[in-house]
Structure 1
Amino acid sequence: MQQSKEEFLANVNAVSKGTLMETLEIEMVDFGDDFLVARMPVSPKVHQPDGVLHGGATAALAESVGSFASHIFTDIDKYFVRGLEITANHLKSIKEGYVYAKATFLHKGRTTQLLDIRVTDEAGNLISICRLSTISLPKNK
């Protein structure tokens, strides 16, 4: 029996308990055949000292959604996924509300993956553009 979208997202979010994703309140909110979307609230918990979203929190959001996307589209019974490199270009600041990170694949290879991650605010304004490369390595049995 195939899971509904809601059941799938609930299961994906359940594995984040006790992790940085739970600390930052990052949750997966949508997915499709070639994308995954996460959101994170912008509050003082993720601010830098001058009261705007910290770039490190943005990078954590981007790496979380990108890594999850690589996991979702990889046979995790045979492989594990690790991040290799992340870059982030911060274009606009935000003080409150939510940011959304949409991860899409630029390259979906058997061993390496490259994801484009666009971080936007609730109005769709571009906050950051990130790139994440991941690697899928065989699990030792």
Structure 2
Amino acid sequence: MQALQMNVKQTSKELAEVDMPITNNVKQPMGFLHGGASVALAETAASIGGMQHIDEKTQAVVGMEINCNHLKSKKDGVLTAIATPIHIGKTSMVWNIEMKDENNQLIAISRCTLAIINRI
């Protein structure tokens, strides 16, 4: 999170919002936002949301699967991930993540499945 300058805006059991500035650290060689950076932001938001549903002393959440559709390109600005739960189970969770820019334009969408594991 620190390397990509991610910032947690808000968290609850129903929503996790994390933003990331579009800097040279998150651009691909053509100068556009790198898809991998968008995916990292999406999984971070889902994981932070997932942490609201577990006992962090005895459990952790880890990514099992993630997909992402990149809808628009960006060269600058701020990307904000808004994660909302689709399913909260005993051993897994599924989160929907919309990534919007500073103009509230939808840039990417993602779905992330988290596993709930016991800490060793």
Separation (CA, whole Å) in 1 of partners of 2:116 and 2:16 = 18
Q: How does 1:46-57 map to 2 (within 5 A)?
A: 46-57=26-37
CA RMSD of superposed structures (Å): 1.0
Separation (CA, whole Å) in 1 of partners of 2:73 and 2:50 = 28
Separation (CA, whole Å) in 1 of partners of 2:78 and 2:36 = 16
Comparing both structures, which one devotes a greater share of its residues to strand? 2
Separation (CA, whole Å) in 1 of partners of 2:48 and 2:12 = 13
Q: How does 1:1-141 map to 2 (within 5 A)?
A: 21-140=1-120
Give SS of 2:2's match: helix
Larger Rg: 1
Runs of 4+ in structure 1 over 3 Å off: none
Calculate percent identity across the aligned residue pairs: 36
Give ranges in structure 2 of 5+ residues lacking alignment.
none
Structure 2 letter corresponding to 1:52: F
Please report how far the alpha carbon of residue 32 of structure 1 lies from its aligned counterpart in structure 2 after TM superposition: 3.6
Q: Deviations over 1:53-107 (max 9, x none)?
A: 0000000111111111111221112211111011000000111110000010000
Query: What TM-score does the superposition give when structure 2 sets the normalisation length?
Result: 0.95
Give ranges in structure 1 of 5+ residues lacking alignment.
1-20
Aligned length: 120
Query: What TM-score does the superposition give when structure 1 sets the normalisation length?
Result: 0.81
Separation (CA, whole Å) in 1 of partners of 2:66 and 2:54 = 19
Give SS of 2:49's match: helix
Give SS of 1:50's match: coil
